[in-house]
Amino acid sequence: MPIAGIYGPDDFGNPVHGHPAAQTRNRVSAVERARALPMPSLEWTPEVERATAHLYERVKNVISPVEWPFMAPYIKAINELKKTRDAVILAHNYQTPEIFHCVADIGGDSLQLAIEATKVKSDIIVQCGVHFMAETSKILNPHKTVLIPDSRAGCSLASSITGADVRLLRERFPGVPVVAYVNTSADVKAEVDICCTSSNAVQVVESLNAPTVIFLPDQYLAKYVASQTDVKIIAWKGACEVHERFTGDELRAYRDADPSVQIIAHPECPPDVLAEADFTGSTAHMINWVRNKHPKRVVMITECSMADNVQAELPDVEMVRPCNLCPHMKRITLPKILDSLIYLREEVTVDPMIAEKARRSVERMINLKN
């Protein structure tokens, strides 16, 4: 059904917000120095080559032998420090292949990472993704140390709305339940009834058994959900700065060039893009689609590191990569992950009162039966 309305900060006379995690902490504090481990050697030696050869096998289709000697010493050092620190690395599907395939313990989409975060035994979680993902891990693990290698890794969706906006929406639409995409701050999660990801958005909306639902902050995901359900959707004006750039014309051009090409798209894309796609799904659903269908040529309409990660695993599938990079995801690099483990930075904190309320919304989603 068509969407019932789209609201934004300007409708409430509020300024457009900056990302709450936008403060930078580039200098090493005295506390970080005090708990630091010694800096490992980062030279490319025969020993490093031997120790990382099995990892290079995983990425040799997407990382050239010229690049590897610059990455391998970091990879070896990170994998050793993870053990020393009793740390686990969670990486989103948009992380680059040397991170996703060579240092991550667990990789996946936002839903998989949130579920995995509830099972972590280690004392330290290093989140290779963006700030809202690290906050979600902290919300689910209040007693663990959650680190993000660069806290400036934000998200245009998370920065489009605050908890105060949600309270104003509730005043405008009393009694209407509110679903928040996990791409939101802890503040927002604390104000809503339940969270969702792009993997389960329709299921979450329908689980509320309400005729109308407020769905925020992604207007395009909201439109996609509205197209799949009879529930009336009230949306927010947020958008993903990576996916909103794709156009239907671009997809038609791929198809004109090769009518046999398969096109798969993330539901954060605008409706004219999704109308041209052969399949729409979360990052994990897109990966599984390629694994199962094994197309000859596929265009992945999403952040382009994901195509590299799939290419590393499936070398015989030809990937057409419309290269839209998420600048936030790309802030996470091997040197910053190493720094994170050496200095235990940058630690993600969430006010315990907010975390408790936000946890209810995230756990309600995780506990939904499939």
Binding residues for ligand 13P, rule: CB under 6 A, are 93, 109-110, 183, 197-198, 240, 268, 282-283
At which residue do the structure tokens 């020993």 appear?
47
- When the beta carbons of 75 and 192 are compared against ligand SF4, the nearer one is 192
Q: Strand 124-128 and strand 106-108: pairing?
A: unpaired
User: Choosing among ligand SF4, ligand 13P, none, which partner's interface includes residue 127 (Cβ < 5 to 8 Å by kind)?
Assistant: none
d(CA 137, CA 5): 32
User: Choosing among ligand 13P, ligand SF4, none, which partner's interface includes residue 93 (Cβ < 5 to 8 Å by kind)?
Assistant: ligand 13P
d(CA 142, CA 149): 19
Phi, psi of 116 (to 5 degrees): -65, -35
Cβ proximity of 355 and 186 under 8 Å: yes
**Binds ligand SF4 by CB under 6 A, chosen from 328, 336, 345, 359:** 328
Q: How many helices (H) and strands (E) does the chain have?
A: 16, 13
Q: Specify the stretch interacting with ligand SF4 by CB under 6 A; choose among 42-50, 66-74, 155-163, 337-345.
A: 155-163
- When the beta carbons of 282 and 311 are compared against ligand 13P, the nearer one is 282
Residue 366: which of 174, 70, 112 has the closest Cα?
Answer: 112
- When the beta carbons of 198 and 333 are compared against ligand 13P, the nearer one is 198
User: Choosing among ligand 13P, ligand SF4, none, which partner's interface includes residue 185 (Cβ < 5 to 8 Å by kind)?
Assistant: none
| Ramachandran category for residue 334: left, alpha or beta (phi over 0 → left; psi -120 to 50 → alpha) | alpha
- When the beta carbons of 244 and 276 are compared against ligand 13P, the nearer one is 244
Q: Least Å distance between CB 261 and ligand SF4?
A: 23
DSSP labels for 113-177?
A: HHHHHTT--SSEEEEES-HHHHHHHHHH-TTSEEE-S-TT---TTGGG--HHHHHHHHHHSTT--
Strands across the sheet with 212-216, in order?
Answer: 5-7, 232-236, 212-216, 178-181, 194-196
The H or E element spanning position 337 is: helix 334-343
User: Choosing among ligand 13P, ligand SF4, none, which partner's interface includes residue 63 (Cβ < 5 to 8 Å by kind)?
Assistant: none
d(CA 131, CA 156): 11
Q: Least Å distance between CB 240 and ligand SF4?
A: 3
Q: Least Å distance between CB 230 and ligand SF4?
A: 27
Does 300 engage in binding with ligand SF4 (CB under 6 A)? no
Residue 301: which of 225, 249, 235, 223 has the closest Cα?
Answer: 249
- When the beta carbons of 73 and 108 are compared against ligand 13P, the nearer one is 108
Q: Specify the stretch interacting with ligand SF4 by CB under 6 A; choose among 36-44, 61-69, 154-162, 230-238.
A: 154-162
- When the beta carbons of 218 and 346 are compared against ligand SF4, the nearer one is 218
Q: Least Å distance between CB 239 and ligand SF4?
A: 8
Cβ proximity of 289 and 268 under 8 Å: no
Does 102 engage in binding with ligand SF4 (CB under 6 A)? no
Q: Least Å distance between CB 217 and ligand 13P?
A: 12
User: Choosing among ligand SF4, ligand 13P, none, which partner's interface includes residue 156 (Cβ < 5 to 8 Å by kind)?
Assistant: ligand SF4
User: Choosing among ligand 13P, ligand SF4, none, which partner's interface includes residue 197 (Cβ < 5 to 8 Å by kind)?
Assistant: ligand 13P
Q: What residues contact residue 219 under an 8 Å CB cut-off, 6+ apart?
A: 3, 6, 235, 236, 237, 238, 239
Of 231-270, which residues contact ligand SF4 (CB under 6 A)? 240-242, 268
For residue 4, count other CB atoms closer than 10 A to its CB.
17
Which parts of this chain interact with ligand SF4 (CB under 6 A)?
Answer: 130, 155-157, 183, 240-242, 268, 303, 326, 328-329
